[in-house]
Amino acid sequence: MRSDRATMRAGVGMAATLPLIAGALALGIPAAHAADGPARDVLKGTKPLWATAKADKGATPDGARVTARVYLAGRDAAGLAAYAKAVSDPASPLYGKYLSARQTQARFGATKAQVAAVKSWLTSAGLTVTEVTPRYVAVSGDVAAAEKAFGTQLHDFTKGGKTYRAPAATATAPASLKGAVLTVTGLDNAPHKARHADQLPPPDAVFKNSGPFSSYYGSQLATTLPDAYGRKIPYAVKGYTGKQLRAAYGAGTYTGRGVRIAITDAYASPTIAYDAARYAVKNGDAAWKTGQLHQVLPKNYTKTEECGAAGWYGEETLDVEAAHAVAPNAEVTYVGAASCYDDDLLDSLGKIVDNHLADIVSNSWGDIEANQTPDLAAAYDQVFQLGAVQGIGFYFSSGDNGDEVAGTGTKQVDTPANSAWVTAVGGTSLAVGKGDTYLWETGWGTEKSSLSADGKSWENFPGTFTSGAGGGTSRTVPQPYYQKGIVPKSLATANNAAGNRVVPDIAAIADPNTGFLVGQTQTFPDGTERYDEYRIGGTSLAAPVIAAVQALAQEARGGAPLGFANPAIYAKYGEKGVYHDVTDNPTGSGLAVARVDFANGLDATDGLLYSARTLGHDSSLSAVKGYDDVTGVGSPANGYVQSFRRH
C-alpha cells in the first residue's frame, strides 16, 4: 500500500509509493460451480490476471511453502449488504438502527458449524490451521496440500522480470460448504518478501521548509520574484493550523466531544504521544487529555525495509495531529498494521470492526485500481459492510497523483477509495485569509516552474505537473445508487455505458503548497533525534480533516453515529450553505504561489530552490461547478456540520 502523503522534499510535492495491492470491489459470493463438476464452487478472482499461459514457467515444486487466508462469507452475505445499505440511507426506515459488534457477529458472522466445516476441509487436505478470527481461517502447508484443498495447480509465472507463484486456474472450494467461503488470498505470492523485525527503525532524516512564508493566504507577496499570471504572487503559507481549518470548514463551537475517531496506517511512530502533545501546545490546539490518545498495535512488525517503516511515522503524525486540530475533544485511537500489505491492513480494519473501537475511521493509504484483485476486494468490502451495520464509517484518501497517467500511463482511480462502501476524500488548495476568513478553494493540482538562472522569469510557466488529488471513474466498481442523478452521466459512463463508481465523494485541504503545519521528531545529520515542524499535504491530510469534521457533525447530531455517510452526503447535495462548490479558477485570473525550499531539505548550506506552484491544475481532472472528479460534491461549508441535526 501507498501512503497518500505529499511531502515538500527537494521542492517537489510527492507521495511515497509502495509495491502493494489493494481491493475494493463489491462483495460477491461465487455461486457458479467449477467446470469439472458440481462438487466445487468457484472462488472468483483467485487467479491473477498476470498468470497467463505465456508467462507460465511450469509447476511450483510440491514442497514449497504456502500461507493463505480463507475468508468466511458468514451466514447471510446478501443480508449483510442489504442491511448495511438500509441503515446508511436517510430515506430508509432503518436509517441509523445500528447493531452492536456482538449483534453483528450473531446475525451475519460465520457460525461455529461453518468454521468447523472449513477447518475440517483444510486440515483434511494436509494444511495446518494457524489462526481463526471472526473473518478468516489462516493456514500454512506445502504446495501439494494447497493444490488438494483449492482444486487448482500452483505454477510459477514471470511478472515484471521476476518469478512468482500463482494458481494456474481459479481456486475452488467444496460445494458441501454451502457458500461458507468468501474467497482465499495468499495462493499467489507476488510481491511478498517477508522480513520479520522486532524493532522499528529510527525516525526519517530531518526535513525543514525554508521561508519566506505567508501566515495566511496572501499575507506576504513575493515582490522580488517574477510575476505569474500578470501579477506578484504570495509566498506559500507556513502551514495552516487547527484554528484556521476549523474556521474554514464551519466547526463553530463543536469540538468532537464524546466521538471516537480511529486512524489506520502501517507501523507506529515511537514518538507520537510526545510529538502530538508538543504540537498542540505550540500551535494553539487544546491540550491532549490523559487517555484521549490510544494505540492498538501488533505484537511484531514485518517488511519494515520494503515498506519504508520510518516513512509511515510522518503519516501517523499528520493524521493524529490533523484530526485533533479540527476535533480537539474527540478520542483518537491509532490502529497500526504490522506492515503495509493488504492482509495486515485488513487486520487493522478488522480490529476496529470486531471491537467497535470507533465510529469514524480515517485511512490515508491506497494503491492504483489496476493492482486490485477481486479476492481482496471482497475481503475489504465485507469489513466495510460489517462496519456500516454498526454505524462505523470509513474515509479513504483518493490519492496524490491525479489521474495516475504520469506514473502508470493509464487513467485510473485509487483503491480502496473506489469501493462503493467507503467515503473517498479528494483534495483542494485552500485559501484562508486574514482573521481566519474562508476565501476560496480550488481543486488540488500543481504544476511547477523553477526560477530562471537570471532570476527574471519562471521557466516554461506554468511548468510540469507534479501532484494532485486522485479521482475519476472506476473501471471495475458499478455505480452506487447514491451517486445516480448527481454525478454527471459523462463521468459515470466514461468506462461503462451502464455507469460506474466515480471518485471522490467529498474533499478538503490537500495541496502541500497551502498545507498543514505538522510537528514530528526527526533524525538530524548529527544523529540526534529532535522535534521540529514542517508543512505537509496530500489527500492524507484531507482524509483526517474530513474524519474530524464528521466527528463535529456527530456531536451536533447528539452523538448518534453517522455510519457509512455517503448516502447522507449526497442527499445534502444542493442544500444551501452545506458545501463549498469548489472550482479550479475561483478568482478568474489564475492562481499560483511562490515556494522557497532548502536544496538539502535542512538549511541554506547547499543553496535555495525557488519555484512557482500553480493551483487548480490537476492532470486531466477538473474541478467545475457541481459534482466533479477532483472534489466530489465539494468541501464542508458553514452549514455542513449543522445540517446533520436535521436528520
pLDDT at position 372 is: 85
pLDDT at position 189 is: 86
pLDDT at position 197 is: 35
pLDDT surpassing 50 at residue 390: yes
Q: 553-587 pLDDT, tens per residue? A: 999 999 999 999 999 999 999 999 999 999 999 99
What does R_g of the chain's alpha carbons equal in angstroms?
Answer: 24
pLDDT surpassing 50 at residue 196: no
Q: 332-359 pLDDT, tens per residue? A: 999 999 999 999 999 999 999 999 999 9
Confidence of residue 29 (pLDDT cuts 50, 70, 90): very low
pTM of the model: 0.93
Q: 273-321 pLDDT, tens per residue? A: 999 999 999 999 999 999 999 999 999 999 999 999 999 999 999 999 9
Q: What is the mean pLDDT of residues 261-272?
A: 97
pLDDT surpassing 60 at residue 199: no
pLDDT at position 219 is: 98
Contacts of 570 (CB under 8 A, 6+ apart): 482, 483, 486, 505, 633
Q: 33-43 pLDDT, tens per residue? A: 444 455 899 99
Strand-pair partners of 516? 240, 536
CATH number 3.40.50.200 is the correct assignment for the domain at 212-252+354-646: yes
Q: What is the mean pLDDT of residues 207-225?
A: 96
In the numeric block, which cell numbers belong to residue 113? Answer: 458449524
Contacts of 442 (CB under 8 A, 6+ apart): 428, 429, 582, 583, 584, 585, 586, 591, 615, 616, 623
Better-scored residue on pLDDT, 381 or 21: 381
pLDDT at position 35 is: 46
Per cent of the chain over pLDDT 90 is: 88
pLDDT surpassing 60 at residue 12: no
A 10 A CB-CB count for 17 gives: 15
Q: 421-472 pLDDT, tens per residue? A: 999 999 999 999 999 999 999 999 999 999 999 999 999 999 999 999 999 9
- DSSP H or E stretch at residue 13: none
Q: What is the mean pLDDT of residues 614-643?
A: 98
pLDDT at position 14 is: 32
Q: Strand ranges (DSSP E) for 463-570?
A: 464-468, 472-478, 500-503, 506-509, 516-523, 529-536
pLDDT at position 37 is: 52
Q: Which residues of 21-53 are buried (b: 16+ CB within 10 A; e: fewer)?
A: bbbbbbbbbbeeebeeeeebbbbbbbbbeebee
Q: 359-381 pLDDT, tens per residue? A: 999 999 999 998 888 888 899 99
Number of Cα atoms under 13 Å in the Cβ half of residue 445: 28
Contacts of 625 (CB under 8 A, 6+ apart): 581, 583
Confidence of residue 191 (pLDDT cuts 50, 70, 90): low
Task: Considering the chain, tell me which residue range(s) the CATH 3.40.50.200 domain(s) occupy.
Answer: 212-252+354-646
pLDDT surpassing 60 at residue 8: no
Q: What whole-number distance in Å separates Cα of residue 586 and Cα of residue 439?
A: 10
Q: How far, CA to CA in Å, does 450 sit from each of 86, 104, 595?
A: 53, 56, 9
Q: 499-550 pLDDT, tens per residue? A: 999 999 999 999 999 999 999 999 999 999 999 999 999 999 999 999 999 9
Average pLDDT, the chain: 92
Better-scored residue on pLDDT, 446 or 190: 446
The dihedral over CA atoms of 183, 53, 165, 406, expressed in degrees to the nearest 10, equals: -80
Q: 157-173 pLDDT, tens per residue? A: 998 889 999 999 999 99
